[in-house]
């Protein structure tokens, strides 16, 4: 079922999601992980691009996973898994993915917990693999604060420059950091490559 929040998120997130996808330069054989799948909007865009690969999506919330499952079941793709799990301790094997997406999730997590999440991202991404992170960076500030008060599980607190060193400390090299403005919403798009040889 499509809800008002789905429509709102689609309206403001579609263009940043598309840019995040383009930055990932997916190959058809890639194994992709999305941490915090939400309603599955990005997953539905990823699946057509990885016909010979695999998609795993993790989210803390069973309700969001159910929504994502309903959305993906309407596609013709079956090369995916949706799992309940916490970004701070991913229920996944080490060095398994070519690309990891995390979009509009780190806003919801206290800054003190982000190093642990970045370490998990670094653990599950293969050396040379990409990590693509989108976060809210401004715009609609009063409206956003109002939305955060009412839906703290969907609208979080702005985090920006502090994410770059945390990803670097975890073992990523920042490839690009850019700002994306869409319908008044400003997002930060970070693309990072996993260093090392594992
Ligand atoms: C604002 S939604 C974003 C969903 C989707 N990535 C998008 O771009 O539309 C945030 C999602 O993060 C999930 N989430 C929050 N904290 C999490 C955590 N620690 N581990 C996994 N998922 C989490 C929530 O359940 C929610 O589905």
Distance, CA of 90 to CA of 106 (rounded, Å):
15
pLDDT of amino acid 1: 54
Nearest CA to ligand 1 atom 9: 38
Which of 3-7, 43-47, 161-165 has the weakest average pLDDT? 3-7
- With a 6 A CB cut-off, is 56 part of the ligand 1 pocket? no
**What's the predicted TM-score (pTM) here?**
0.92
pLDDT band for position 23 (cuts 50, 70, 90): very high
Average pLDDT over residues 179-183: 84
Sorted by where each starts, the structural domains of the chain and their CATH numbers stand as: 4-194 (3.40.50.150)
Which of 9-23, 89-103, 152-166 has the weakest average pLDDT? 152-166
Distance, CA of 196 to CA of 172 (rounded, Å):
9
- With a 6 A CB cut-off, is 83 part of the ligand 1 pocket? no
Average pLDDT over residues 28-45: 97
Average pLDDT over residues 60-78: 96
- Contact of 39 with 122, CB cutoff 8 Å: no
E-strand stretches of 47-144:
54-59, 80-84, 97-103, 125-138
Separation of CA 156 and ligand 1 centre (Å): 10
Up-side HSE of residue 81: CA atoms within 13 Å toward CB?
A: 11
Separation of CA 131 and ligand 1 centre (Å): 16
Up-side HSE of residue 103: CA atoms within 13 Å toward CB?
A: 28
């Amino acid at each position: 079922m499509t809800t008002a929040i789905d429509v709102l998120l689609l309206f403001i997130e579609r263009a940043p999601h598309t840019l995040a996808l383009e930055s990932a330069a997916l190959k058809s054989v890639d194994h992709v992980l999305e941490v915090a799948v939400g309603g599955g909007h990005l997953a539905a865009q990823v699946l057509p691009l990885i016909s010979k690969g695999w998609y795993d999506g993790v989210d803390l919330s069973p309700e969001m996973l159910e929504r994502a499952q309903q959305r993906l079941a309407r596609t013709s793709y079956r090369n995916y898994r949706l799992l309940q799990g916490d970004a701070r301790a991913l229920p996944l094997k080490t060095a398994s993915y070519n690309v990891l997406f995390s979009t509009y999730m780190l806003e919801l997590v206290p800054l003190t917990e982000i190093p642990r999440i970045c370490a998990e991202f670094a653990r599950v991404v293969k050396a040379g693999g990409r990590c693509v992170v989108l976060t809210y960076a401004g715009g609609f500030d009063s409206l956003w604060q109002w939305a955060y008060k009412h839906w703290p599980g969907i609208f979080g607190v702005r985090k920006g420059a502090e994410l770059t060193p945390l990803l670097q400390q975890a073992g990523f090299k920042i490839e690009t950091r850019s700002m994306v403005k869409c319908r008044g919403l400003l997002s930060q798009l970070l693309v990072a490559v996993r260093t090392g040889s594992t």
